[in-house]
Every structure is written in C-alpha cells, then in structure tokens.
C-alpha cells in the first residue's frame, strides 16, 4: 500500500523517478549499511585488528538479499534504529561466531551517516546527469534563437526587446552555475563518519584513526578531520544546493506558464495527444510539466528549511534533530528528481513561436522602444526633456490620439532633429536588442 505521491503507483513517476527511488528504497538503504560494515571489516582485517577469516565471513553475508526485512522492521520499531537490527542479523548469518567481529569499534550513527553520504553520492550523480542534459537543451535554444526578438518583461509589463536566445542563455548560465556548485561542494560533502560513541574512537585505542582512514579509502570517501555526529552542515549544504537547483527550475516553469497564456502564446510545452486537456474546455492546453515542477519546488523548499532546523543539535549525540534528516533528505532528492525530470522533458521539447513573439512586440506600435527614442533625442534635446516629451506622446497614443510613430513625426520639437525614416528605425524593436547576441555567445562559450 502506498500513500504519498512519491511512492504512489499512479503519481510516482510524475513527482519523482525510478532511479532516485531505487537509491532511497529500504533495500538500498540496508545495502548501504552493509557496504559500510563490509568495508569496515576489510579495513580492520588488513590492519590486524580483527581476524582475516572473520572479515571474509562478514563480507560474504553483506548482501541485503540474505536479510529478513520483516524482522528488520519489527526490531527497528522495538529498538528505535535500524542499524543494530541489521548488525544482529549479520552476526546470526556468520558461521562459528565470526560475526562477533562485525561493527568493531563503530557506533550506529557512524554506519548511518556514512551510508547516507554514499546515498547522496549516488543521488548527486543522477542530479549531475539531469543538469548536463538540461544545459544541453538550453544551449540549443540559446543558439537557435540567438537573434529572435521578443518582448522583455518587467512587472509583467512589456519593458524593452530582448531575444528568446538571450532568455534561454540567462537560464543556461544559472544551470551552469549549479553544475559548478556541485563540483565545488562534493569534496566537502562526500566525507564519511567514523568516530565511535562520542566521536573520540576510544574503543579502538591508538588504532582508531588508522581504521578511520582505511575505511574511508575502502569506500572512496573523504576522511573527516574530526567527528561530525552533531555538526550537520554537510547534509544541510546538500539540501540548500538542491533548493537552489529547484528554485531555478521553478523560474523556468513560471516563465513558460506565463508565455503559454492565451493572450501571449509565445511558447508551449511539448505536444502529446491529450496532454494538458481540460475535462470541460476542449480548447485548453494546460502547462502540465510546469505545474508539477512548481509543486515539487515548493515542497523541496519546505524540507530544506527542515534540514536547517536539524542543524541545531545537542552535545555530541542528538535527541531528535538527526531523525529530521531521515525524513527530509530522501524527500528532497526524490522531489528534486521529479522536478528535474519534468524540466528535461519541458525544455528539450519546448515549442517556440517566433511569429507570435514578433506580433506581441508590435502590440504597442513601437512604444516598447520608447527608451530608444528618448536616447536618440537626448543629444538634441537633453535627456530629461527628451524623456518628458516621449512620455507625453506615449500617453497621447495610448489614449487613442494616433500611432506612436505618427505622433513623433508630427511633433515640431522632434521633427527639427529626426525625420520620419530615422524615427521609424528607432521604433523598430528589432533595432534595439542591445548586446543580447554577444551575451548569448559568451554564455555558450563558457558552457563549452
């Protein structure tokens, strides 16, 4: 029985992905625990701390398929943590008492935290793939529509012209920064935990740091400089990173939703028969992927806040905040995966209508480039006078007094400096794109 959209048979591949669910499944979580236990046994055997035959026997049974998940559930509910029940079953599976060497010198949180870091490593690899694919799609849009003019918007009003390639390149630059952030944070995040009861490794005497180093080498993780049982910035940083990533996805979804409006219709989500249909309004084509991205982004943000709460822990081992991570970390990754998956489909198949973009540019009869007219008149009339004069003409045109160009050409104060042909050049939005193309090229070059 499933009760949430993440594991629902109906919704699960809308709000998340199979690959990410696999990483955070019960079976995978237990297998990560066992991977840590096996690596610990190998490391300690190599150092002569436990018998070599014990390590071989322990590793032979570090396979989740050998474990009774129903019993694990029962024991976890009784004890309060899953690691000890896992260790108990592992000990029972090993022959001739060799299992007693399992978990030597470790504590529950060592295994749990290190397994979580391993989950995060594999989960971030999926995020990295999604970001790379999204980057490729945005780069293709930026390149294809580098010089396609459209209305830039401020406060939901037409501002000045931009190009659709410029809009795509702005988003691409953000995704590329996320990819750079991911590279930067990995060395800080992918660090294991092995400190024993209170982080001092007292149970292993003088061998503690040797075991710690060997264990992390076995697992391919960084070695901690000191225990981080209750110093949770690593986990919180992962959450904040995904909060940033999904925030950008939310920006993409918001712009597409607005551009899909009937009154705008400049872009559309990829077409599929029946997708976005209304049960009562046959003409509608709703922004489905955008809607799901928006929902995922909001929920990720709430869980990131929970991870920041989880940083406030007591003393050397915490009473409660740690368990917040058990809830928040999987949900953040699962919902982020859903948002990334929807975004990949959305951007890769985005339908763009350059003709409608141009039509919307022309809605105001050139007033979208009133700034260009003001700047063109500035050297002749002074900037402030040019501003006031163009402002008055805009108001008159909006009130139905004539076209913007006609009113400009008829104004004596203007006619003495610019003729109608020059004014027509100024009020053509395609002539006021600034350095949009060069900026697109710069972003594309950085991506390469």
Closest CA to 426 of 380, 371, 361, 382: 371
Does residue 200 form part of some domain? no
Q: What is the mean pLDDT of residues 176-186?
A: 97
Together in a domain, 102 and 112: no
Together in a domain, 90 and 132: no
Instruction: Map tokens 């999604």 to a residue.
Output: 130
Percent of the chain with pLDDT over 90: 79
Question: For the chain, what's the residue count?
Answer: 448
Distance CA 342, CA 252 (A): 11
Distance CA 378, CA 371 (A): 10
- For the chain, the average pLDDT equals 93
Distance CA 101, CA 57 (A): 10
Together in a domain, 121 and 162: yes
Question: Do the Cβ atoms of 131 and 179 come closer than 8 Å?
Answer: yes
CATH number at residue 320: 1.20.200.10
What confidence category does residue 80 fall into, taking pLDDT thresholds of 50, 70 and 90? very high
Q: What is the mean pLDDT of residues 32-61?
A: 97
Does residue 198 form part of some domain? no
What confidence category does residue 7 fall into, taking pLDDT thresholds of 50, 70 and 90? confident
CATH number at residue 404: 1.10.40.30
Does residue 222 form part of some domain? no
pLDDT in tens, 364-387: 888 888 988 899 888 998 999 989
Does residue 199 form part of some domain? no
What confidence score (pLDDT) does residue 244 get? 98
What confidence category does residue 291 fall into, taking pLDDT thresholds of 50, 70 and 90? very high
What confidence score (pLDDT) does residue 286 get? 87
Does residue 27 form part of some domain? yes
- The answer to which of 73-87, 223-237, 331-345, 364-378 has the lowest mean pLDDT is 364-378
Together in a domain, 251 and 324: yes
Together in a domain, 160 and 64: no
> What total number of domains does the chain contain?
3
Does residue 335 form part of some domain? yes
Distance CA 289, CA 353 (A): 19
Does residue 202 form part of some domain? no
What confidence category does residue 26 fall into, taking pLDDT thresholds of 50, 70 and 90? very high
Together in a domain, 3 and 77: yes
pLDDT of 355 over the 90 cut: yes
What confidence score (pLDDT) does residue 366 get? 86
- HSE-CB of 100 using CA atoms within 13 angstroms: 3
Instruction: At 46, list the tokens.
Output: 């190599």
CATH number at residue 99: 1.10.275.10
Together in a domain, 1 and 129: no
Catalytic residues: 278, 317
What confidence score (pLDDT) does residue 265 get? 94
What confidence category does residue 280 fall into, taking pLDDT thresholds of 50, 70 and 90? low
Neighbours of 88 (CB within 10 A): 17
What confidence category does residue 272 fall into, taking pLDDT thresholds of 50, 70 and 90? confident
What confidence score (pLDDT) does residue 448 get? 64
What confidence score (pLDDT) does residue 232 get? 96
pLDDT of 358 over the 80 cut: yes
Distance CA 8, CA 334 (A): 13
pLDDT of 278 over the 60 cut: no
What confidence category does residue 35 fall into, taking pLDDT thresholds of 50, 70 and 90? very high
Task: Please tell me which residue, 419 or 61, carries the higher pLDDT value.
Answer: 61
CA distances to 270, 276, 281, 358 from 285, in Å: 11, 5, 9, 22
* Furthest-apart CA atoms within the chain: distance in Å: 105
**3-state secondary structure string across the chain:** CCCCCCCCCCCHHHHCCHHHHHHCCHHHHHHHHHHHHHHHHHHHHHCCCCCHHHHHHHHHCCCHHHCCHHHHHHHHHHHCCCHHHHHHHHHHHCCCCHHHHCCCCCCHHHHHHHHHHHHHHHHHHHHHHHHHHHHHHHHHHHHHCCCCEEEEEECCEEEEEEEHHHHHHHHHHHHHHHHHHHHHHHHHHCECCCCCCCCCCHHHHHHHHHHHHHHHHHHCCECCCCCCCCCCHHHHHHHHHHHHHHHHHHHHHHHHHHHCCCCCCCEECCCCCCCCCCCCCCCCCCCHHHHHHHHHHHHHHHHHHHHHHHCCCCCCCCCCHHHHHHHHHHHHHHHHHHHHHHHHHHHHCCEECHHHHHHHHHHHCCHHHHHHHHHHHHHHHCHHHHHHHHHHHHHHHHCCCCCHHHHHHHCHHHHCCCCHHHHHHHCCHHHCCCCHHHHHHHHHHHHC
What confidence category does residue 281 fall into, taking pLDDT thresholds of 50, 70 and 90? low
Percent of the chain with pLDDT over 70: 97
Together in a domain, 90 and 115: no
Together in a domain, 127 and 265: yes
For residue 408, the enclosing domain spans 367-427
Instruction: At 123, list the tokens.
Output: 């989960």
pLDDT of 276 over the 90 cut: no
Together in a domain, 310 and 175: yes
pLDDT in tens, 202-251: 999 999 999 999 999 999 999 999 999 999 999 999 999 999 999 999 99
């Amino acid at each position: 029985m499933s009760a949430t959209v993440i594991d629902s048979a109906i919704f699960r591949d809308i709000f998340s992905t199979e690959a990410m669910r696999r990483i955070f499944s019960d079976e995978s979580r237990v297998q990560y625990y066992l991977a840590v236990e096996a690596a610990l046994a190998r490391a300690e055997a190599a150092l002569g701390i436990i018998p070599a035959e014990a390590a071989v026997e322990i590793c032979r049974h570090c396979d989740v398929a050998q474990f009774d998940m129903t019993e694990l559930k029962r024991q976890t509910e009784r004890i309060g943590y899953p690691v000890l029940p896992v260790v108990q079953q592992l000990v029972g599976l090993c022959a001739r008492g060799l299992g007693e060497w399992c978990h030597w010198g470790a504590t529950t949180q060592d295994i749990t935290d290190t397994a979580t870091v391993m989950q995060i490593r594999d989960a971030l690899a999926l995020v990295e793939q999604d970001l790379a694919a999204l980057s490729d799609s945005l780069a293709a849009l930026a390149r294809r529509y580098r010089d396609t003019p459209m209305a830039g918007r401020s406060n939901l009003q037409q501002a000045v012209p931009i190009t659709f390639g410029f809009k795509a390149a702005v988003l691409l630059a953000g995704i590329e920064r996320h990819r750079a952030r991911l590279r930067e944070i990995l060395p800080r995040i992918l660090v294991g935990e092995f400190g024993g009861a209170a982080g001092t490794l007292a149970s292993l005497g003088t061998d503690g740091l040797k075991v710690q180093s060997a264990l992390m080498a076995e697992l391919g993780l960084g070695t901690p400089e000191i225990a981080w049982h209750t110093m949770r910035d690593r986990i919180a940083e992962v959450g904040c990173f995904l909060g940033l990533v999904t925030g950008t996805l939310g920006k993409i979804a918001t712009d597409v939703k607005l551009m899909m409006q009937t009154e705008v219709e400049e872009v559309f989500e990829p077409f599929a028969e029946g997708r976005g249909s209304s049960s009562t309004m046959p003409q509608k084509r709703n922004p489905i992927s955008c809607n799901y991205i928006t929902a995922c982004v909001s929920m990720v943000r709430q869980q990131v806040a929970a991870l920041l709460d989880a940083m406030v822990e007591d003393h050397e081992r915490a009473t409660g905040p740690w368990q917040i991570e058990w809830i928040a970390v999987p949900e953040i990754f699962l919902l982020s995966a859903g948002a990334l998956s929807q975004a990949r489909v959305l951007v890769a198949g985005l339908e763009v209508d350059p003709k409608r973009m141009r039509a919307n540019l022309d809605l105001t009869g050139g007033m979208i480039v009133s700034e260009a007219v003001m700047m063109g008149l500035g050297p002749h009339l002074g900037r402030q006078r040019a501003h006031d004069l163009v402002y008055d003409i805009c108001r008159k045109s909006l009130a139905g007094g004539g076209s913007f160009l006609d009113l400009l050409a008829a104004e004596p104060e203007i006619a003495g400096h610019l003729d109608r042909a020059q004014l027509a050049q100024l009020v053509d939005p395609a002539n006021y794109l600034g350095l949009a193309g060069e900026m697109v090229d710069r972003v594309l070059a950085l991506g390469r």
